[in-house]
Structure 1
Amino acid sequence: MSTVRMTLSALAAALLSGCTATQVTPLQSASDHMCIEENPKVQVSDFVPVLQEGFARHGIETQLYAKIPREQCAYVVTYTARRSWDMAPYLSTAEIVILGPRRQTLAKANYHLRGKGGLSLMKWQGTKSKIDPVIDELLSGAQLSVAAPASSQADASDESRRSLDDELRELQKQNLGYEDYQRAYRKLLLEHQGSY
C-alpha cells in the first residue's frame, strides 16, 4: 500500500511541476555587436525585448532589423517562439540561433515545456523568467571581440567605412577556416577602429 501511495505522490508531483526541457550549444566566441532578424510570425510581444536585455547583460549590443543588412551584420541572431493556451496564453517553446560571418551556426538554444507544462502553475511565468536562464547558459562563456561603437560608426567618414567594407568583402571571399577568419576579422576591426 505504501508503494502505491509513493508512486501516486511521485506522479502527482511530476504533473504539478511540469517538465522544462532546454538544450543549449553555448557560444564560444563572437563580436560584441549582433543583429537580430525580426520574426513577424512570433506573437510573444515581449520576446525580443527580453532577448535584447539578456544579450546586453552579457556585453552584446543588438539591433533589430526587418531585413538584415548583410554587409553590416557579421553576426546574426534568429529566433522563434510559440505560445500555448490554458485559460491564458503562455510561452511554451522558443529557439535562439546565433549565426556567424559565413552564416554558420555558432550557438543554439531550445526551450520547451514538455506536455505544454502539464498542471504546473510555473507554465504561466513570464517570458523573462523562462528565457533569461537560457540566454545565460547560451552566452556566459563567450569570448567577445570588441567592434567599433555604434556612435563612432555613425560619425565615420564614408571613405573609412567604404575601405573597411571593401576589406571585409575581400576577407569573406577567402577560403579561411573559422578560427583564421575570426583572427583576420578582429584584426581588421582593430585596424579600422582608430580611423572612426
Structure 2
Amino acid sequence: MKMKAVILLAVALLVSGCTIHQKVEPVQIDSGHRLCIVENPAVREGFLAEFSSTLDHKNIAYEIVDESAVAASCEWVARYTANWSWDLALYMSYAEIKIYRNGNLDGEAIYDSRRGGGNMNKFIDAESKIRELVDQLLNIKMASIFRSNIG
C-alpha cells in the first residue's frame, strides 16, 4: 500500500513537471491607433512575419520600428521575443508579446513549453500559435466607428 502511494506521488510529480503554460492579458486598442512593433533581430524572421500578417487580417494599423524610434512617435508599442528548441524536431518553446501604452505595460501574451518535457503537445505549429496569441491579446474597440455608422 505504501509503495503504491509513493509510485502515485512520483507519477503525479512527473506529469506536473511536463506542463505547458499559456497566459494572455488582453489589450483594448481604440480603432484608428497605430501599433509600433519593435523589431527583435534575435528572433526568427517568421515570427514577425506571422505577427504582421495577423495584424493585417485584424485590420490593425502597425509600423515596424527600431528601438530608437519608439519614444518619439509611438503611443502603443509591442515588444516580442521567442525561442525555438530541439527535441526530436525543432519547435517554438517560448513566445512572449508585450503591449505598452505610453511606456506602461498594458497587456501580454506568453506561451511557455520549456517545462514540457515528455509532453508531445509542445510540438505545435508556430504560425498558428502566434496567430492565436495575437488574436487573444489584441481587441480593437470599434464602438466609435459603430456609432458614427449607425446614428
Same fold (TM over 0.5): yes
The code of the aligned residue for 2:131 comes to D
Partner of 2:38: 37
Partner residue, 1:93: 94
What RMSD over aligned residues (CA atoms) do the two structures have, in Å? 3.3
Answer with 1 or 2: which has the greater Rg: 1
Contact 1:32 1:145 in 2 (8 A): no
Change (3 A) 1:70 1:53: same
Structure with greater proportional strand content: 2
What CA distance in whole angstroms lies between the structure 2 residues aligned with 1:72 and 1:55?
19
Higher relative contact order, structure no. (Cα contacts within 8 Å, ≥ 6 residues apart): 2
Where in structure 1 are there 5+ consecutive unaligned residues?
Answer: 147-196
Q: How far off its partner does 1:106 sit?
A: 1.5
Structure 2 unmatched runs, 5+: 145-151
Secondary structure in structure 2 of the residue aligned to 1:46: helix
* Cα separation, partners in 2 of 1:119 and 1:45, compared to 1, 3 Å: farther
Distance 1:36 1:50 in 2: 13
Match of 2:134 in 1: 135
1:119 to 2:118 alignment: yes
TM-superposed CA distance for 1:58, in Å, is 2.5
Q: TM-score of the superposition, structure 1-length normalised?
A: 0.57
Distance in 2, Cα, partners of 1:90 & 1:107: 25
CA distance in 2 between counterparts of 1:64 and 1:76 reads: 10
| Distance of 1:98 and 1:69 partners within structure 2 | 13
Deviation at 1:124, TM superposition (A): 2.6
Q: Which residue of 2 aligns with 1:159?
A: none
The alpha carbon displacement at 1:120 in A equals 3.6
| Matched residue, 2:147 | none
Q: Which amino acid aligns with 1:60?
A: I
Aligned length: 139
For residue 106 of structure 2, what is the amino acid of its counterpart? L
Alignment of 1:1-196 (within 5 A): 19-30=19-30, 31-42=32-43, 44-67=44-67, 68-100=69-101, 102-115=102-115, 117-140=116-139, 142-143=140-141
**Bigger share in helix:** 1
Identity of aligned residues (%): 29
Contact 2:39 2:64 in 1 (8 A): yes
| Segments of 4+ moved more than 4 angstroms | none
